[in-house]
Amino acid sequence: MHDDGPKAVHGLVVTVTPAGAKVFYVTRKVRGRHERIRLGRVEHVSVETARARATVLNGEIAQGRSPAAERREVRAEMTLGELWETFKLRHAKKRSLPTDARRWKRHLAHWQSRKLSSVTRPDVVRLLDRITAGSGPGASNRTRALLHTLYEKAREWGADVSNPVSGSRRNPEHSKERYLSPDELRRFLAAVDEDHEEDAADFLRLLLFTGVRKGTLCAARWKDLALKDALWRIPAESMKAGRSLELPLAPAAVAILRKRQERAAPGGVWVFPGRSNGHTAGPGTGWVRVLERAEIAGVTMHDLRRTHATYALEAGVAMPMIARTLGHTMPGGVTAIYARPTAPQVRAGVERAVEYMLAVATGTAKVVKFPAARRR
């Protein structure tokens, strides 16, 4: 049935299905091909709305566009989630993939069902602003870089889309020198103690007392912890450098982990389980809450790692022991190859660093000379 009312629009028709449903369509010959574009069922779309939509479509067709073909392209277009899966398959050996995966899960996975062309620059800007507010400028910049790379790869692999990240601004990042001053350390630990969310408080204390990266702690598994030996055997896939690490645990860290183990569900895998079957993505708003209570600004969770190392150095821990704790490679050429920190030295350094931080927080700090290695 063609539209033949007083405001008839060229090509607008109503079809009746065998089941009796009435549906508005625009039928036109486009580029030599008969096309039919569905507008909606009569009970859902008024005649006035159907005429208005048909008028817009006729204008697009007059300009040489093919609305039906464009809709087919959208239906066939890759989603951001499909692009991510393709990216993982093609870059399975990429060293930074575990870090990218954590960043994807935390900041981008909620867009996984969106078509690539549906993500706009304003969408990206709003997302980056939220990440900056919640996780800091560095996290926002790294997420921006990952999303930019994904879109550039999609274009490289033949997707006809623009990159919505292009033209968005990076956050300015200051040199990596920020750590908690003694007064901030006192306020920080006091705010953590007062926090009502036990998971967030435990997470932040362990970040400070172990010096590990946030992603490493997120992925901590009970099977890698030997609490009787106060040792955490961190697997290579949880380390940025891709090398496993045996990390001694200070008594304060062991105490936190023992309490968590007592509360853990039987057969649980993760020290900090997430809401689904996986592990947590971090303390989330707990971090913001603690900083606000402590009245501390300009600090990221990674700065707790720097705080651990800084106070270790101030407490007299030698640099090779600090580097070993952080999983870093010490410079030094041939000498560094032969002069390796021993396990007891590293353990003494970790314990001394945490002991000193707690002493600073309580105002009882007195630096003790770091003990020399025992001769065998």
| Better pLDDT: 340 or 278 | 278
Q: How far is CA 316 from the centre of its chain?
A: 35
- Give per-residue pLDDT as tens, 15-39: 988 888 898 888 888 777 788 888 8
Q: What are the residue ranges of helices labelled H in the chain? A: 47-62, 67-76, 80-90, 97-103, 121-135, 137-156, 182-194, 198-210, 214-218, 251-263, 285-294, 302-314, 319-326, 333-338, 343-362
**Confidence (pLDDT) at 173:** 65
- If you average pLDDT over residues 305-325, what whole number do you get? 89
Can you state the angle between helices 343-362 and 251-263, rounded to 10 degrees?
90
Residue 161: the pLDDT is: 85
Mean pLDDT to the nearest integer, 50-65: 84
Helix (H, G, I), strand (E, B) or coil at 270: strand
Q: Which of 360, 256, 364, 254 is nearest to 308 (CA)?
A: 360
pLDDT per residue as tens digits for the range 137-175: 888 988 999 999 999 888 878 777 889 999 898 887 665
Question: What is the arithmetic mean of pLDDT over 220-225?
Answer: 94
Percent of the chain residues past pLDDT 70, beyond the cut: 87
Higher-scoring residue by pLDDT: 8, 255? 255
Question: Cα separation of 144 and 269, whole Å?
Answer: 31
Entry pTM: 0.53
CA distances from 215 to 109, 110, 144, 234, 275 (A): 16, 19, 18, 12, 17
The band of 96, judged by pLDDT with boundaries at 50, 70 and 90, is confident
Q: Give the CA-trace dihedral at 48, 51, 53, 58, to 10 degrees.
A: -160
Could you give phi then psi for residue 337, rounded to 5 degrees? -70, -35
* pLDDT for the residue numbered 108: 95
Q: What's the distance, CA 337 to chain centroid? A: 36
SS3 sequence of 195-261: CCCHHHHHHHHHHHHHCCCHHHHHCCEHHHEEHHHCEEEECHHHCCCCCCEEEECCHHHHHHHHHHH
Tell me the per-residue pLDDT of 113-126, one tens digit each, with 9 for 90 and over.
999 999 999 999 99
Tell me the three state secondary structure of residue 175: coil
Residue 81 is predicted with a pLDDT of 93
pLDDT at residue 338 tops 90: no
Is pLDDT at 64 greater than 80 in this prediction? no
Tell me the average pLDDT of the chain.
84
Confidence of residue 185 (pLDDT cuts 50, 70, 90): very high
